[in-house]
Amino acid sequence: MPSVICFWSLSLSGTTRTSRDPSAIVDLSVRRQLVLHQLGGGTTFGDPTAVARASVVLPPAFESSIDIERVLDRFGVDRPNQHSFAMRILRAAHGLSRLHPQGIHVTGILDLTIVEILEVEDSGTREVMERPIDSESSRVTRGASKSAILGLKEKFYAAEDEDCCSICLEEFHRAEKVTELPCSHVFHRRCIIRWLEDRDSCPLCRCQLDT
């Protein structure tokens, strides 16, 4: 099995709104990129792919980062980065609101870079590195076991879950049935089953299932 290292980064931009509403709308999205690195050899970069998105409305005082941190937690961002990113977003909202009190729109793009470090013999490495890869890592992992897929829980969508399925990017609807992975991320059942037939981990946080 390859070693896996994950890196998060955040880029922010902001614009004014014309609604005369002093609150801030924060749009957050996640892009994921797979990087294959052979020890002592070359590195192959997959294309960044959008995997999740959500919006948060901040009241004019911009005093609490709890709602932002909840979204970041659902995205799979680790706890130290959750607080750091949330405070950066709040500071950006404060700065923009002083310049544009009529209301602002903050856009945050979270980039998740997943580095898989391969420790295989030269011939095997050449075979893997020569295959076309994508950011979903379908070429370098096995699918989850049938028992793991059949054992996935189903539940009704709740407000504290993700706003949309991070595989197809379609929004969930109230009381819609969703499938929950052991890491608590939820997806459309049809989407996650197709995903797990070729991969053994959660699309958002890389939590692994049995193979």
Residue 115, pLDDT score: 82
CA angle, 84 then 88 then 94, to 5°: 145
Residue 78, pLDDT score: 85
| Backbone φ, ψ for residue 2 (5° rounding) | -75, 150
What does the alpha-carbon distance between residue 125 and residue 127 come to, in Å, rounded to a whole number?
Answer: 5
Which residues, in sequence order, are bridge partners of residue 55? 27
**Cβ neighbours of residue 21 closer than 8 Å, sequence gap 6 or more:** 102, 103
**Cβ neighbours of residue 35 closer than 8 Å, sequence gap 6 or more:** 43, 44, 45, 46, 113, 114, 115, 116
Helix-helix angle 79-99:66-75, to 10 degrees? 130
Mind listing the pLDDT tens digit of every residue in the chain (211 residues)?
557 788 889 998 888 877 677 788 899 999 888 888 777 667 888 888 888 889 888 887 777 788 899 899 888 888 888 889 999 998 888 888 887 777 888 899 988 888 877 765 444 444 444 444 444 433 334 688 888 898 999 998 886 666 677 777 677 887 888 999 998 888 889 888 888 887 888 877 778 887 6
What does the alpha-carbon distance between residue 158 and residue 147 come to, in Å, rounded to a whole number?
Answer: 26
| Backbone φ, ψ for residue 196 (5° rounding) | -75, -10
Q: Which domains does the chain have, with CATH numbers?
A: 1-136 (no CATH), 141-211 (3.30.40.10)
Residue 1, pLDDT score: 53
Nearest Cα residue to 29 out of 50, 8, 57 = 50
- Percent helix, strand, coil in the chain, to 5, is 25, 35, 40
CA angle, 43 then 8 then 131, to 5°: 25
What does the alpha-carbon distance between residue 29 and residue 73 come to, in Å, rounded to a whole number?
Answer: 13
Residue 152, pLDDT score: 92
Residue 179, pLDDT score: 92
Please state, as a whole number, how many other Cβ atoms lie within 10 Å of the Cβ of residue 138.
14
